[in-house]
Amino acid sequence: MAAGRLKHVTTTETAGQAGAHHDPRPTDAPRPDRTEETAPEYVLPLVVRLERDAPPGRTDALEAAARAVLVLLSDERALGTGEWAQAVHGWQDSRIRKVVRRARGAEWRRAAALPGITVTGREAEVRVFPPVPLDGWPKDLARLQVSGTELADPQAPGEPAAGTPVLWLNPALEMSAGKAMAQAGHGAQLAWWALSAADREAWRAAGFPLTVRTAQPAAWAGLAGGGLPVVRDAGFTEIAPGSCTVVADHPALRGTALPAGR
């Protein structure tokens, strides 16, 4: 999909669940036959490891969640006739709902035994699973808690490295860590869809480098109105309806490439 085709996605959230109403997938994405009335609604589960004595930093967890979404979207099991492809296609054909839950100890070990992909950050561990029907969660995921995912950064994040994709958070909004992880995942997914096939492959080959940062207040209006992919929230939880939560700023969407070796 050419840059500029997709600028806004409206998300709906209830009880920690995030979704996006859209039809902005790359033109090469399969489109299964479905109707909104008969097709099952899918949700993408993400689980963050939250050990009591060693929680990850907030920004580290947000970045790991965003990369986890990208890793799943590009995994061979999610493409073509792969084992996860039908669920992924059904999920993308409706709303890109994401639910972030937390686990520790035996809960994490049970979750890690289910089919999925674990993405690690500096300390964070986030496992992403193929989409599941909204009312058909595996029991070892359904029992995990949604609320209480509160994290802090041990120190203020530094400036993003030059040329690195950035998911800019709205500085005027306060979001729980779980909600912000879901929103960062939305932003990464919108960037992925907005890129050309060649740019998506280059990003994947580089290991999906990205950063999540809160924008400076003076810069936010220019970011949100600059033609980059923007996530807008419907306002069911935490924030007001219509709020922009994330701007996905990838170098290729500004006509530049990722630096070699990143």
User: What is the distance, to the nearest Å, from the Cα of residue 117 to the centroid of all Cα atoms in its chain?
Assistant: 14
Please state the rounded mean pLDDT for residues 171-199: 95
The predicted structure's pLDDT at residue 9:
44
The predicted structure's pLDDT at residue 146:
87
Q: What percent of the chain has pLDDT over 70?
A: 81
Fold of the 8-145+159-254 domain: Bit1 (3.40.1490)
pLDDT in tens, 136-164: 999 999 999 987 778 999 999 999 999 99
Phi/psi of residue 224, each to 5°? -70, -25
Output the average pLDDT for the chain. Answer: 84
State yes or no: pLDDT of 185 exceeds 50. yes
Calpha distance 93→135 (Å, rounded): 18
Calpha distance 115→196 (Å, rounded): 29
pLDDT in tens, 81-117: 999 999 999 999 877 889 999 999 999 999 999 999 9
